[in-house]
Homo-oligomer: A and B are copies of this chain.
Amino acid sequence: MRSQAERHHPDLGSALEHLLSSGGKRIRPAVALLTGGMLGGDADRLVTLGAAIELLHTATLVHDDLIDGALLRRGIATLNSQWSPAATVLTGDFIFARAAKLAAETDSLSVMRLFAETLATIVSGELTQMFTSRGLVSMQDYLQRIYAKTASMFELATAAAAMLSPVNETVVEQVRQFGYDIGMAFQIVDDVLDFTGEQATVGKPVGSDLRQGLITLPALYYIEANPTDPDVTWLQEGNLFSDERMDRLVVSIRHSGVIERSLDEARRYVDCALIGLQNQPDGEQRQALEELGNYIVRRSM
């Protein structure tokens, strides 16, 4: 990943270094490598795929942070807090370009096609989110949004890895479904952690999604179960800014059963994922993928 800025503007190298040094869990490339390894895919091409996916993810984060005006990500300064918007847009574009180049280096047209389709899904999802009225969202909207935002890239990781492996289309479809399921679970747990995490650990105020008008699964469940709660009515009228009411609503959500209910839903996705995995060749990689599926829900505890 780091070598992708070579022979280009030196500031790009530092920007990429800065972005990659922040770490992150590299969970998407891990999923791709494990899936491809399980299916007997070529290791070099899988590493190229993993790097392409992580860079695609990084590029979308750079543009997201710019759009949200975020100053911190994973506890370190975002590019747009240090650079002009123009330089940030272009750095994101550059990382997209390098991700596309790495995807092309997998030497698979189906991987390239899926890669381009995934990028369109992610961006279209962000635009839909931008044009959706704050505070109002249906369950279907929510599921579509977290698919576009997160699960689509996990699908890419598993399906593309299978495309680089000596397996037929049925297997590609089976592992695509696995990627979808763990991706959905991953985002639901992220959305739960936004309510249950401590500010010190998560690095942002508890309930920050809701405070920005983003309705996630715990809030959806709470609204559904408590339609007459005055704070819910207030929220549904499009209000967001009374700190006192908002604090109270966040506390209500945090201490109601909707956190458990949301985690049950994430658990259900992971269970489906693990059942599907039983069709795949047994071995170290399959066990690691099972572990990873379980870890996704466990990290919320």
Query: Which residues of chain A have a CB within 8 Å of any CB of chain B?
Result: 8-9, 11-12, 63, 66-67, 84-87, 89-94, 96-98, 100-101, 103-105, 107, 109, 112-113, 115-117, 119-120, 123-124, 126-128, 130-131
Closest CB of chain B to A34's CB: distance in Å? Answer: 25
Closest-by-CB residue of B relative to A105 is B113
In the complex, which of the residues B11, B90, B123 contacts A63, with contact meaning CB atoms closer than 8 Å? B90
**Contact (Cβ within 8 A) B130 A86:** yes
**Contact (Cβ within 8 A) A63 B89:** yes
Distance of A85 Cα from B67 Cα, bound (Å): 8
Query: Given A67-B89, A105-B113, does the pair A96, B94 have CB atoms closer than 8 Å?
Result: no
Q: Which chain B positions have C-beta within 8 A of A9? A: 124, 127-128, 131
So how many copies of this chain end up in the complex? 2
Say whether chain A's binding surface is mostly helix, strand, loop, or mixed.
helix
Distance of A66 Cα from B88 Cα, bound (Å): 12
Q: Which chain B positions have C-beta within 8 A of A85? A: 67, 85
Query: Given A96-B93, A100-B115, does the pair A127, B87 have CB atoms closer than 8 Å?
Result: yes
**Contact (Cβ within 8 A) A120 B104:** no
**Contact (Cβ within 8 A) B130 A90:** yes
Q: Which chain B positions have C-beta within 8 A of A86? A: 66-67, 130
Q: Which chain B positions have C-beta within 8 A of A124? A: 8-9, 12, 94
Distance of A131 Cα from B100 Cα, bound (Å): 25
